[in-house]
Structure 1
């Protein structure tokens, strides 16, 4: 394997079609597509400024690197990409890629990140300004993440989330087969128009959560007082611990809670309009 260390590169396609190489303490200055069409690469302790730096690469490992603001749209069309201990200051990282592992990373501007990606694992990482994270992506596993950004996972499929803190308006809209375990889900209009959304031991915050859902399941979940007007037009099986401020026009299934402040059944529920609503006390 070729070793490239303590060097600086700039300009367009400065390391084009590089293969079987390790870059250590390398600086990539301004310029388009510096490491495009790379194969079997390892980058450690590198600073990257050039835009579109890693496109159409296969079998890449990145550790302890910095992608600066100017490295926007930096990692697209990848296959088998692993990144650890790295700081992303640029938006639109990762798109149309397969086989992505992200661990112990920080994204300070995660807008439009991880779009149309498949087979993604993210652990112990944070995403700020993360609007539309994971849009149109599938086969995702998230563990110990923190997100501040709206519209998480829209149009996503087959997503699992564990032990995470999600602050996201309109999270999981139009999704299919999403499961969350031991998470805080904070944001208005959670899960609308979803199919097969499964929440276990989760705390739910934000107005009008979980409406227009098909086959919604909640197990041992809690609701914040601001989470009102829940379950409108849903087919739902919900086991809720503690109080729910209000429930409105669920379609079918069963909702069990310790207490419900208001049950709104105004005749506008969709048929069969036979959801069973039960309070424990």
Structure 2
């Protein structure tokens, strides 16, 4: 049996679809979400280790993906929460964990990059078979509002003219499904990207064509970007860390593309145009107005 954590998220929902016909269980906090997913589920919470342990009953493979960088000092809650899942998997005799991490996860890095590195190391030391997915930025950020926007609905960032090889969450899920069923590839880390790298000016133009209104890209220096985020309510230290990560992206660290999606799934990754076609209606609804939106 495969236990899917983060089942209600942008990757998890796609993974439930990709694993139709397999024996799966979704781990959810809200029964209504489980009902909506249309698959077997258990209710629990990462902050309740007993519920995590109960969810592991009869499980031999786990998809680990939940939590995120939050504006707090000290260790990110995600580190504690995912350690709970890994430790419960050890106790339950789970055979294999497929973990979603982030590209450039490394020791001492800020926010999610540092947190995921700590979790990766805990998983590697666990004695469990593991596979790690390190995706580039999500195309879905431009559908869900996880990108950053101005009060006029333009994309806001500190990327300069750098390119980002955004990947479709459906492709991340397809890679996870392959690792959980067909080809475990234990002990390997896969960097997942789309087939092309785009500037945010190019992305804004593509979004404009779908949304039916002009969407621009507003670029700020890193410090001005941090101040803008802080003025919208983010804690100053967190805003500084986010801006620092954006500045690193501006140096081109998310521009390369890889063949990992094709390697794992047997087909090329979706392009940004593919993503826009498949999500056109939602994108038109999300981008039709100019309400203030700042979300991280």
Q: Flag the structure with higher strand content.
A: 1
**Normalised by the shorter chain, which TM-score bucket?**
under 0.3
TM-score by length of 2: 0.21
Provide the TM-score with structure 1 as the length reference: 0.22
- Whichever structure has more helix as a proportion of its residues is 2
Which structure's relative contact order is higher, taking Cα pairs within 8 Å and 6+ residues apart? 2
> Greater CA radius of gyration, 1 or 2?
1
